[in-house]
A and B are shown apart, each in its own frame.
Chain A
Amino acid sequence: MDIEITIDPMRCMGSGNCSFWASATFDLGDDGIAFVVDLAGDPVDKVVLAAQGCPTQAITVTRDGRALG
């Protein structure tokens, strides 16, 4: 079962912290808001690290409807 990633654009402050921890999964758009480049870009633990480290907790990672991390 694949993971699902949601990013709340109202919370995202464009720190780029997520793309540091999981650079193949997250990137920043020209608007400074993070987006998912590739759901399977990094190992799940890196994606969870990125979500945990988000300064405004804008990222949610779920599998089967359950939050990871």
Chain B
Amino acid sequence: MTNDDTSAAGVTATADDLDSYLNLDPMSQFSGVAGDVRDPYPALWDKRQHHPVERIETTSWKGDPIVQYTVYPFDLVSQVMRDNETFVSAAIRETMGLVMGDTLLVGLDEPEHRRQRALVAPAFRAKAMARWETTLMSTVIDELIDRFAARGRAELVRELTFQFPVQVIAEILGIPRSDYTLFHRWAMAIINLVADPAAGFAAAQDLREYLKPLIDARRAEPCDDVISDLVTVELPDADGRPERLSDEEINSFLCLLLPAGAETTYRASGNLLFGLLGQPDQLDAVRTDRGLLPQAVEEGLRWENPLTITMRRAVRETELGGVHIEAGADVIAHLGAANHDPQHWDRPDDFDIHRPQRQAAVFGFGPHMCLGMHLARLELRLVVTHLLDRFPDLRLDAGAGGDPHIHGDRFRSPTALPVLF
């Protein structure tokens, strides 16, 4: 992909394109990128049963005819994501790479992927994340809770879950607080790229310009934040020579981090809280035994995937679940369907924190497994912990109206979380 392709698609960005994101309304995305579906599971159940690997002839976002296979059963989703020699990430590079750069981690295949992943991984290990827990992350969450704590009621999507993940990312990157809103606006526009390319390109361009001097400053004088980790990391290559991340790689990676880290955790934390608040006995169990929190987090992630699909491309002719797949076809792994596969999960549609633990199809499988999973799990544990610590009688506000429910197709999360305490 080159810039020529960008202009050919008629994408020219202006500052005005970002205006629609100024109000930062979390609901605005359901009519766009997230998808307007209330309960996709009956239809997914049917597909998994009758067309486990479903062939569709469609057109790409550029208007070219393409063949797409969507994969629904857990075992086949796992197979697609683990076999990164057959099912490559080039298709992601060709779309998100346009905005975030050719060196985008999620769009790389081997051996480039392994090299860059090894360099960025240390900053996102569980131990590296733990150093932010008590100071920075807890402060972000507590300050948001402070704003509504005296009120006795709140709407947790708009007042907490939509706000805190982007602020956590900004904090660990060392972004000034005064720029949080700007940051959030960019994140939303970038994630919404498919629905509104012009605004997405504009936001990515602005974000990259914004990050450049920050990366330079950390190169000159590293401090205790993730950008400093990225500019200082050094690993020996196969011949023992030191390898480092280029400025372009860092910029591209940070561009990804903002939407990837903010959007998914916002939705996942809403889903987890919706599950717990909707099952008061399970919320009580977690309240009295915080040791149950990690498995509650895993169940929330399984029960409602924040991001339901991910894409690969078959680089050679192959067969999947008895279905022939031609070289060059796009293959969509339906994580949401996999996590509701009755062959793999007992009573898959039920939220049950006590179910036997297994790894869900949520952070992916294979070499591209989510780099941010330790950060996400930590944030999910923290947000529930802080809410339960501050409000021992936290409960759903049944009289709030508005029919709160989990909504969305590609992205899913609650429309609202009205609570009393």
Residues on B with beta carbons closer than 8 Å to the beta carbon of A53: 359
Within 8 A of A (CB), among B131-174: none
With A32-B121, A55-B367 as contacts: A16 and B374 at CB distance below 8 Å = yes
Name A11-58 residues within 8 Å CB distance of B.
Answer: 13-17, 19-21, 28, 32, 49, 52-53, 55-57
B323 within 8 A of A: no
Bound together, the chains give a CA A57 to CA B369 distance in angstroms of 12
B114 at the interface (CB under 8 A from A): yes
Q: Is B358 among interface residues, defined by CB-CB distance under 8 A?
A: yes
Contact of B117 among A13, A16, A20 (CB under 8 A): A13
Contact A17 B367 (CB under 8 A): no
Q: Give A48 to B117 CA distance when docked, in angstroms.
A: 25
Is the pair A19, B126 in contact by a Cβ cutoff of 8 Å? yes
Task: Choose among B117, B125, B359, B364 the residue that contacts A52 (Cβ–Cβ < 8 A).
Answer: B359
**In the A-B complex, the 6 residue pairs with the closest CB atoms:** A55-B369, A53-B359, A14-B121, A15-B369, A55-B366, A16-B126
Size bracket, chain A contacts: 10 to 19
- Subset of 21 A-B contacts with CB under 8 Å: A13-B114, A13-B117, A13-B121, A15-B121, A15-B369, A15-B373, A16-B126, A16-B374, A19-B126, A20-B374, A21-B359, A32-B118, A32-B122, A32-B235, A49-B357, A49-B358, A49-B359, A55-B82, A55-B364, A55-B365, A57-B82
Encode B333-363 as 1/0 by CB contact (under 8 A) with A: 0000000000000000000000001110000
Is the pair A16, B367 in contact by a Cβ cutoff of 8 Å?
no
Q: State whether the Cβ of B244 lies closer than 8 Å to any Cβ in chain A.
A: no
CB distance from A44 to the nearest CB of B (A): 14
User: In the complex, how many residue pairs between chain A and chain B have their CB atoms under 8 Å apart?
Assistant: 45
Q: Specify which chain A residues have a CB less than 8 angstroms from the CB of B373 in the assembled complex.
A: 15, 17, 20
CB neighbours of A19 from chain B (8 A): 126
**In the bound complex, how far is the Cα of B367 from the Cα of A17, in angstroms?**
11
Bound: A14/B374 CA distance, A:
12
Instruction: With both chains docked as a complex, state the minimum distance between the C-beta of A32 and any C-beta of chain B, in angstroms.
Output: 6
Q: Which of A14, A20, A55, A57 has the largest count of B CB atoms less than 10 A from its CB? A: A55
- Docked pose: A39 CA to B121 CA in angstroms: 25
Closest to B122 in A: A32
Q: Which residues of the other chain, A, contact B371 by a CB distance below 8 angstroms?
A: 15
Q: Within 8 Å of chain A (Cβ to Cβ): is B377?
A: yes
> Which chain B residue shows the least CB distance to A11?
B367
Using A28-B125, A57-B82 as known contacts, say yes or no to A17 and B358 having CB atoms under 8 A apart. Answer: no
Give the CA-CA distance A57 to B365 in the complex, in Å: 10
Instruction: Output the nearest chain A residue to B129 by Cβ-Cβ distance.
Output: A16
Cβ of B336 to closest chain A Cβ, rounded Å:
19
**In the bound complex, what is the Cα–Cα distance between A32 and B126 (angstroms)?**
12
A20 engages B377 (CB within 8 Å) = yes
Residues of A within 8 A of B377 (CB): 20
Contact A13 B359 (CB under 8 A): no
Cα–Cα distance between A19 and B125 once the two chains are bound (Å): 10
Q: How far is the CA of A19 from the CA of B126 in the complex (A)?
A: 9
**Residues on B with beta carbons closer than 8 Å to the beta carbon of A21:** 359
CA distance A20 to B126 in the complex (A): 8
- CB neighbours (8 Å) of A20 from chain B are 126, 373-374, 377
Residues of A within 8 A of B235 (CB): 32
Tell me, in angstroms, the Cα distance from A13 to B117 when the chains sit together. Answer: 8
- The residue on A at minimum CB distance from B368 is A55
Kindly list chain A residues whose C-beta atoms are within 8 Å of the C-beta of B357: 49
| Complex interface: chain B residues within 8 A of A32 (CB) | 118, 121-122, 235
Q: Would B369 and A14 count as touching, CB distance under 8 A?
A: no
How many angstroms between the C-alpha atoms of A32 and B358 in the bound complex?
Answer: 24
Cα A23 to Cα B364 in complex, Å, equals 20
Q: Which residue of A lies closest to B363 (CB)?
A: A17
Say how far B134's CB is from chain A's closest CB, in angstroms: 19
Q: Which residue of A lies closest to B374 (CB)?
A: A16
In chain B, positions 106-122 with a C-beta closer than 8 Å to chain A are 114, 117-118, 121-122
Q: How far is the CB of A9 from chain B (nearest CB, A)?
A: 12
Q: How far is the CA of A55 from the CA of B362 in the complex (A)?
A: 13
* A60, chain B: closest CB distance, angstroms: 16
Contact A17 B369 (CB under 8 A): yes
Residues of A within 8 A of B117 (CB): 13
Expressed in whole angstroms, the Cα–Cα distance for A16 and B359 within the complex equals 14
Residues of B within 8 A of A56 (CB): 366-367
Q: How far is the CA of A16 from the CA of B122 in the complex (A)?
A: 10
Note all chain B residues with C-beta closer than 8 A to A16: 125-126, 374
